[in-house]
Chains A and B, each alone.
Chain A
Amino acid sequence: MITSIIVWGSLFAAVAFTVVYLLSPRIRAQVEQPKHQFQRQLESFDNSAAQEPKRGQQ
């Protein structure tokens, strides 16, 4: 019984998250936003490091 709860609970949560993601462009954009934000942070860090080679050496 507990096993069934785990299976169905996990599947339900995954399916619900997927459905919301697929149906709502706004949610989709929000869910994907961190990867773009992170990419900017990476670029910003690397660019800054290239300009200031001594930075990062505390």
Chain B
Amino acid sequence: MNQAIAQETNRSAKVEVDSLLIRAHAYAALFALLIAVTFGIIISLQFIYPNFTADWLPGWGRMRYAHTQGIMLGWLGNAFLAFMYHAVPVLSGRPVTSRKLGLWLFGIWNFAVMIPGWILVLSGVSQPLEWAEFPMAVDVFVIVGLALAAFQFLPPFIRRGVTDLYVSSWYLIGGLVFTLLSYPMGNFAPEFVPGAAGAAFSGLWIHDAVGLFVTPMALAILYFVIPASTGKPIFSHFLSMLGFWGLFFLYPLNGTHHYIFSVIPMEAQMTAILASFLLGVVVIIVVSNLMLSQRGAGLIPKDIGLRFVSMAVVFYLIVSIQGSMQANMSLNQAVHFTDWVIGHSHLAMLGFATFAAIGGILHAWQRMPQARYNAKAFEWAYWLLVVGISIMVIDLTLAGIVQGQLWQDGSPWIESLQASRPYWIVRSISAIPVATGFIVLLIGMVTGERGAGAQALAASHITQKTDSLASHSELHTSSRGLTMSYVVACAAGIVFFVLSVSLLGLLPRQVLEQQSVAMAPGSPLPYTAAEARGRDVYGREGCSYCHSQQVRYTEADIARFGAPTLAWEGRLEFPHMLGTRRIGPDLSRAGGTRTADWQYAHLYDPRALVPASIMPAYTQLFDGSATRPKRDAQDLVAYIDSLGRARELAYPEGDEAARAAAPDNRWAQMSFDAPLLNAHPARTRMRGNAPSLADSGDLALGQSLWLNNCAGCHGDQAQGDGVAAQWLEPQPKNLAVREYTRSMLADVLWNGVHGSAMPAWRDLSTAERSALASVVQSFSALEQEAANTGLVASGAVIYATHCAECHGDNGAGNGFAAAQLPIAPTDMRGVRASLAERIKILENGVAGTSMAPWTDRLSSDEINAVAHYVGEFFADISDRSAP
């Protein structure tokens, strides 16, 4: 046998493993996991009971930050470190650099990263970037931690040399090096590169976090535990290396597939789509090799470490194929932003990576004589986790399909929430076995006999270990050529990483900058100080986890939200808020869509306005009432009202100039060709051009629509006394003391009442609006008024003198001053209030409108006369046109 091989083998026999650090990181990992899962459970319950944590816990978004960072850095980071303290000495035949360094690394990772990171994001100091939520101050310590990990684990491999390096070693080295390279890029670059260009870097990191940190570490575990537990070498080292290089070349090129159909240049998107497809092929090679390596172990291996790892292989296959499919443009169009993606990420992090990490920890645990080991508990943990995660992922995937379908067919947004509710309930229920499984796992590691792991290990070995020493003693040491080819491949890996940053980060940035310069209007407005502060509030509360800020270049998005987002529209976004999930609607054109009083009321008590809403209530931004917003709420509303404003102000001349500046940019032309710049269905517009309604509507349907959409403001019986009425100005109308013509209702439901909180309802079908109109008419309790020709005649004279300038000669609300008013005067041809109500309006005015009280200018007789006169205007006007 070759002497060098014998030496290496001998080294592994003598090498010492630092079990103190394994235990420290393993316990830290499990505690972090339980904390992160607790955050996950709380935020999942808020989908079902949105108010249940309103006052006594941090906001939903903040806990979502704590959840994802806890899983990635707290749980998986610690678990991988624990495994490396066992694996690196065995793989390299040399101890890790030093225990002292290990204690520093443990301290920094947990006491300078995790605990401060959680405290900061929960108290509102964060970075609104997916998988990069800890603030930059904490990122510095993450990088220090990664650098210490590199100093701790790479020297043993360097001292050993790359000759005959086993695939797990390659993955550990690759994971440590590439995470150190990609973490700063993904966590810092978006803070300095605006909008979509920053998102391009974010996209890279989102995928690198999974592809260059989680996946290599998890695969290192799989390739380590499988041969160790089966007692047989893996099926093919060739295939494993083919997979290794394939993954490291292709993973970094995947990132932009998180922003397909965005304004990021199509060349970058296509590169990511293609790399995603090729990655699927590579994963099939990797998984085939891993499955073949388990031959003889059975479907459910006896060895508990191998059992977890075996399940991780299955999850890895599914999640990777799913990932490749999601990058396909047809599927992406339908499922992007939906719970399908959330199911996918849970399958990756809680399925594949978590099962691999548990497998790795238990494998090491079995080999620590002083460790407690409760085999029964591990068995239970395995089954609880398999069942829980499977239910969760299947459920979320189905939810995503349902949501995508509803979004594609243009249904009102709220329907996607209502349809999702059963799935969200199941998702929360699935957390019971998942959380229990993790608790039982921890119990298994702190109960049972010390050293019982070794007994379990002996009992579970399914094959007699071959005498590898003898059977392969004739093998040669590797040729210089093969070693060199690996070195070249290492260099190529770095080149591909640089290529990915260049192709998918730097190059798109340059293209997007050119587009911005060419297409931006002359001097777009910057944010005011309040808007800039509001943006910080928006980021810190995690609003972008539910509301994207990018209208994609898809038909469904154009129909629902309007013209797709151009590059220059994100020029002030440091960091970007493009988002990767839509629980609520996109907000890139939110400016001018709702009034400030509606926004305040909605932030304070979302369900008062939208009963089916699941948005958290942000009561902490108010001083006890929606009418008393604190500065944070005022800033936030100012920011929301600025979204889309720059393009709207420049429209349509700005779009035409930009169209001329980029005649060959097919995607930009698609944005200019959109029929509406802002197609938000609730956006109010001036009167006119409303489609006619049917003469009658389905009252049952209308009643249901009323309760879901109108009662919050107008009240159940339409008396203008809904919960939200107290916060709105002008207050919602009391419909019981009014009667409306059908054409007036058609107009109001189609256009809303511009300047008031009454939105348009363009996402309702004609049948639904007809049904709603019928219900509104049914609320009217007005009786026929007796004619009083004398009062009418005198009222006409007073009206002509005092009222016609706003309301017009015939009460149509089109007087010469009407155009100057923020809320158009009532068109009294389409609505008639009761005589008492008309008098009340004349005496008190209408708060929040230009209608002033008239008691200081008109006597009560004159008011009475005018009230009689204006009642005469009421008549159905079938052909309404804007004044």
Q: Which residues of B contact A33 (CB under 8 A)?
A: 164, 237, 472, 475-478
Minimum CB distance partner of A37 in chain B? B164
State whether A10 touches B278 (Cβ < 8 A).
Answer: yes
Given A6-B274, A36-B468, A58:B18 Cβ within 8 A = yes
Question: B55-72: contact bitstring with A at CB < 8 Å (1 yes, 0 no)?
Answer: 000000000000000000
State whether B166 touches A38 (Cβ < 8 A).
Answer: yes
State whether B13 touches A44 (Cβ < 8 A).
Answer: yes
Minimum CB distance partner of A14 in chain B? B242
Question: B14-40: contact bitstring with A at CB < 8 Å (1 yes, 0 no)?
Answer: 111111100000000000000000000
Pick the contact of B16: A39, A46, A55 (CB < 8 A). Answer: A55
Q: Which residues of B contact A42 (CB under 8 A)?
A: 12, 90, 227-228
Pick the contact of A40: B9, B240, B267 (CB < 8 A). Answer: B9
State whether B275 touches A35 (Cβ < 8 A).
Answer: no
- Is the CB of B236 closer than 8 A to any CB of chain A? yes
Q: Which residues of B contact A32 (CB under 8 A)?
A: 236-238
**Is the interface on chain B under 10, 10 to 19, 20 to 34, or 35 or more residues?**
35 or more
Q: How far is the CB of B81 from chain A (nearest CB, A)?
A: 16
Given A42-B228, A44-B12, A35:B166 Cβ within 8 A = yes
Give the residues from 147 to 190 in chain B that come closer than 8 angstroms, CB to CB, to chain A: 164-168
State whether A54 touches B475 (Cβ < 8 A).
Answer: no
Pick the contact of A6: B17, B18, B275, B482 (CB < 8 A). Answer: B275
Q: How far is the CB of A1 from chain B (nearest CB, A)?
A: 8
User: Complex Cα distance A17/B246, Å?
Assistant: 12
State whether B478 touches A3 (Cβ < 8 A).
Answer: no
Minimum CB distance partner of B271 in chain A? A3
Give the residues from 20 to 58 in chain A that come closer than 8 angstroms, CB to CB, to chain B: 21, 26-50, 53-58
Given A6-B274, A14-B246, A32-B237, A41:B90 Cβ within 8 A = yes
- Is the CB of B99 closer than 8 A to any CB of chain A? yes
Minimum CB distance partner of A49 in chain B? B367
Q: Which residues of A contact B249 (CB under 8 A)?
A: 10, 13
State whether B91 touches A41 (Cβ < 8 A).
Answer: yes
Minimum CB distance partner of A9 in chain B? B249
State whether B369 touches A44 (Cβ < 8 A).
Answer: no
State whether A37 touches B8 (Cβ < 8 A).
Answer: yes
- Is the CB of B5 closer than 8 A to any CB of chain A? yes
- Is the CB of B241 closer than 8 A to any CB of chain A? yes
Given A32-B238, A42-B90, A53:B369 Cβ within 8 A = yes
Q: How far is the CB of B160 from chain A (nearest CB, A)?
A: 11
Minimum CB distance partner of A31 in chain B? B238
User: Complex Cα distance A27/B752, Å?
Assistant: 75
Pick the contact of B476: A18, A30, A49 (CB < 8 A). Answer: A30
Q: Which residues of B contact A37 (CB under 8 A)?
A: 5, 8-9, 164, 166
Pick the contact of B19: A6, A14, A56 (CB < 8 A). Answer: A56
- Is the CB of B503 closer than 8 A to any CB of chain A? yes
Q: Which residues of A contact B240 (CB under 8 A)?
A: 35
Minimum CB distance partner of B233 in chain A? A35
State whether A48 touches B166 (Cβ < 8 A).
Answer: no
- Is the CB of B270 closer than 8 A to any CB of chain A? yes
Q: How far is the CB of B788 from chain A (nearest CB, A)?
A: 80
- Is the CB of B250 closer than 8 A to any CB of chain A? yes
- Is the CB of B454 closer than 8 A to any CB of chain A? yes
State whether A29 touches B476 (Cβ < 8 A).
Answer: yes
User: Complex Cα distance A32/B237, Å?
Assistant: 5
Minimum CB distance partner of B470 in chain A? A40
State whether A29 touches B9 (Cβ < 8 A).
Answer: no
Q: How far is the CB of A29 from chain B (nearest CB, A)?
A: 6
State whether B271 touches A6 (Cβ < 8 A).
Answer: yes
Minimum CB distance partner of B467 in chain A? A43
Q: Which residues of B contact A38 (CB under 8 A)?
A: 91, 166, 168, 227, 233
Pick the contact of A10: B166, B250, B370 (CB < 8 A). Answer: B250
Question: B471-489: contact bitstring with A at CB < 8 Å (1 yes, 0 no)?
Answer: 1100111110010000000
Given A26-B479, A45-B90, A39:B227 Cβ within 8 A = yes
B interface, CB within 8 angstroms of A: 5, 8-10, 12-20, 90-91, 93, 99, 164-168, 227-228, 231-234, 236-238, 240-242, 245-246, 249-250, 253, 267, 270-271, 274-275, 278, 367-370, 451, 454, 465-466, 468-469, 471-472, 475-479, 482, 492, 503
17 A–B pairs (Cβ distance < 8 Å), ordered by A: A2-B503, A6-B271, A6-B274, A13-B245, A31-B482, A33-B237, A37-B166, A40-B5, A42-B90, A42-B227, A44-B10, A45-B13, A46-B228, A49-B367, A53-B369, A55-B16, A58-B18
Nearest 5 interchain pairs by C-beta: A41-B12, A38-B166, A35-B233, A44-B13, A48-B13
A interface, CB within 8 angstroms of B: 2-3, 6-7, 10, 13-14, 17-18, 21, 26-50, 53-58
Given contacts A3-B271, A34-B165, A34-B237, 19 further A-B pairs with CB under 8 A are A13-B249, A26-B479, A32-B237, A33-B475, A33-B477, A35-B167, A36-B468, A38-B227, A39-B468, A40-B5, A40-B469, A41-B91, A42-B12, A43-B468, A53-B454, A56-B19, A57-B19, A57-B370, A58-B19
